[in-house]
Structure 1
Amino acid sequence: MPAETEPHTCTWMAWPSSGYADGDEARRAWASVALAVAEFEPVRLVVDPSAIRDATDWLGDAVEYFQAPLDDAWMRDIGPTFVVGPDGLGAVDWVFNGWGGQSWATWEKDARIARRVAEWAGATIIGSEMVNEGGGIHVDGRGTVLVTETVQRDPGRNPGWTRGRVEGELRRTLGVREVVWLPRGLTRDYEEFGTRGHVDIVATFPAPGTVLLHVQPDPGHPDHLVTAEIRAALPDDWKIIDLPAPEGVEDGNGPVDHSYVNHLVCNAGVVACTFDDPRDDQALEILAAAYPGRRVVGVDARAIFALGGGIHCITQQEPAIPGGES
């Protein structure tokens, strides 16, 4: 699996249809992300047939449309994880079961999306028996993957799976050699609409051996201790770049998990979460320094986080094949 910083053919997204995300607030956020990504690379949007008119009203000809039935719109998790090999583009089709069989989730339609996207992309499908989501992994493109104990070994996902079995499947599907286990994700991610610990909200690789780490400076926030625990689990020889959380620490439902780590790296750019927060500018500056030569664009992600994720969660990059079309 190439690093997200390597060239992309496009980014895949899905449109939030009626019944999943009613009202304009979510649609405006999804559309803003799609338009921001489209400044850097093509966007391919999967749309439920019932919502195609709605999607085109928001996005016009800025994206390419693909129709398929959808339960929700978290493309990072319902779509395939793209890999490359001697035969070209591959796509890992993880088992998807609604983030560990959450009581509120439906996934009969979503469980078919990875294969549909793989077929549209012309990728070779790589099947897997492991329940996993794209938000539950981050790779450096040089053989290392970050995961969390509470996702891949979640009893609701893969009951009875040992570390060794998970690592063997990650090596087979992603081509990695080293699996770095983090103890858990952010506190809010374990509440009703969470994923139980996705890594893409706490840590990511801007370069091999370097990690952008979500840091909660407020000692009164439960993630203050969580992020310290995560830092302690990272290899001692890695460079760690702190990416402080926004100053706003609560909403109407308690402590938030707003995170600048949940960004998408594009061709020549970075599309980053903002929160109308005093720390937004500082975060964009840190990201610009971490990704030299790329233009950083901020998009208000509060409406996306209100539904349980961020910009990285609603996007999935398709890597360019060396020597092929891009």
Structure 2
Amino acid sequence: MQPTPKQLGYYFPAEFAPHEAIWLSWPHKEASWPDKIQAIFPYYSQFVKYVAQSEKVRINVADEAMKAFASNHLQQAGVDMSQVEFFFHPTNDAWCRDHGPAFLLHKTEKKKAIVDWGYNAWGGKYPPYDLDDVIPTLIGKHYGYEVFHPGIVMEGGSVEFNGAGTILTSTACLLNENRNPHLSQAQIEQYLCDYYGQDQVLWVDEGIVGDDTDGHIDDTVRFVNADTVITVIEPNKQDENHDILQHNLRQLQQMRLLNGKQLNIIELPMPDAVIWEDQRLPASYANYLITNKYVIVPTFRSAKDDVAMQIIQQAHPEREVVGIDSTEIIWGLGSFHCLSQQEPLIM
């Protein structure tokens, strides 16, 4: 048996730890944004502009033509192109949080490794996904990093880390029959701890309405620091998210961390419902990305945008909160966190 990353001294850092880079896969799949993909590029490029102010941006593209197309959009948005690196790694889709590499750091040695989980496009919903599935290994080969292959399906948006040994996830996603039906909850916990180098897994049950990932945690609960979470709530009792999110809130209130502490819980309102062609979209302010300098928050032309940004700013006083309109991007059923994956900095 090959030793696990945890046995070898590797761990997955929290998102609020220092980054070397953010990885992206340039959007190109028309079916992900039907009749709308051209509308997303100005907002996507603005997102890249803010990321590039404090870390490298590493973008997977199919070929020189896509690189030129991407470069043109980024330059128009005023992106610092000296911070942008392109990699000829063809992808099926843009959701790098889920198909991208899970970067590990070593606890005592200055080195990185990568976990290449299996990827099946959220339970086989959107084939093909063969190109996306090999992205972590291609990146590992490029840098000469050791790559671990657990052999089970896992997505980056389904797990959240506190930087002190705890993972948060959801039963709606990880216990779904379309992921790893042969594994029990205890077996999945073991994989998570072994391959992410963690000691504890905490579970909420539900995801938000309209989330085609079956309930990714990055739309509902985020760690702010080792013992504090932001969780979304829906104050409107008539809204279909109200009961779901109250249930999650009660579960969070009952949790205990490894040190026995209760979680500090910050409540974040959901935006007004975003509907497109009679479809409720998974709009959530929790799908923000933490970078070295900014917290980049999706906004939705909602009266709640400013309040949500103020709450997130108070939770992250060491960074500047920036809102970028995600109304067009969310038509693809994800936002800035779903589109990106951080690469930690070796300290």
Do both proteins adopt the same fold according to a TM-score greater than 0.5, normalized to the shorter chain?
yes
For 1:225, the aligned partner's letter is: D
Measured in 1, the distance between the counterparts of 2:252 and 2:141 equals 37
1:284 CA displacement? 1.2
2:197 maps to 175
Measured in 2, the distance between the counterparts of 1:256 and 1:142 equals 33
Measured in 2, the distance between the counterparts of 1:249 and 1:303 equals 10
Matched, 1:159 2:185: no
Moved over 4 A (4+): none
1:283 maps to 308
For 1:203, the aligned partner's letter is: V
Identify which of 289, 294, 307 aligns with 2:319.
Answer: 294
2:23 maps to 12
**Within 5 A, what are the aligned runs for 1:262-281?**
262-281=287-306
* Structure 1 stretch displaced more, 142-151 or 10-19: 10-19
Measured in 1, the distance between the counterparts of 2:140 and 2:265 equals 34
Identify which of 218, 221, 236 aligns with 1:200.
Answer: 218
Gap regions ≥5 residues in structure 2:
1-11, 76-80, 255-261
- The number of equivalent residue pairs is 317
1:34-84 CA-to-partner distances (Å, cap 9, x unmatched) read 112112211111111152221111114252111111100101011011111
Matched, 1:127 2:149: yes
* Structure 1 stretch displaced more, 137-146 or 232-241: 232-241
2:246 maps to 228
* Structure 1 stretch displaced more, 50-59 or 250-259: 250-259
Matched, 1:313 2:313: no
2:70 maps to 55
Give the alignment's TM-score, normalised by structure 2: 0.87
Matched, 1:213 2:235: no
Measured in 2, the distance between the counterparts of 1:278 and 1:97 equals 37
Identify which of 234, 237, 244 aligns with 2:269.
Answer: 244
1:258 CA displacement? 1.2
Secondary structure in 1 matching 2:128: coil
Distance 1:253 1:122, change over 3 A: farther
Measured in 2, the distance between the counterparts of 1:82 and 1:238 equals 26
Measured in 2, the distance between the counterparts of 1:30 and 1:70 equals 17
Distance 1:163 1:23, change over 3 A: closer
Identify which of 328, 335, 344 aligns with 1:303.
Answer: 328
Identify which of 103, 106, 113 aligns with 1:82.
Answer: 103
Gap regions ≥5 residues in structure 1:
none
Measured in 2, the distance between the counterparts of 1:284 and 1:120 equals 38
1:206-228 CA-to-partner distances (Å, cap 9, x unmatched) read 01111100111121211101101
Distance 1:233 1:177, change over 3 A: same
For 1:40, the aligned partner's letter is: S
2:7 maps to none
For 1:179, the aligned partner's letter is: V
1:235 CA displacement? 4.5
Work out the percentage of aligned pairs sharing the same amino acid: 32
Secondary structure in 2 matching 1:230: helix
Secondary structure in 2 matching 1:66: strand
Measured in 2, the distance between the counterparts of 1:177 and 1:235 equals 20
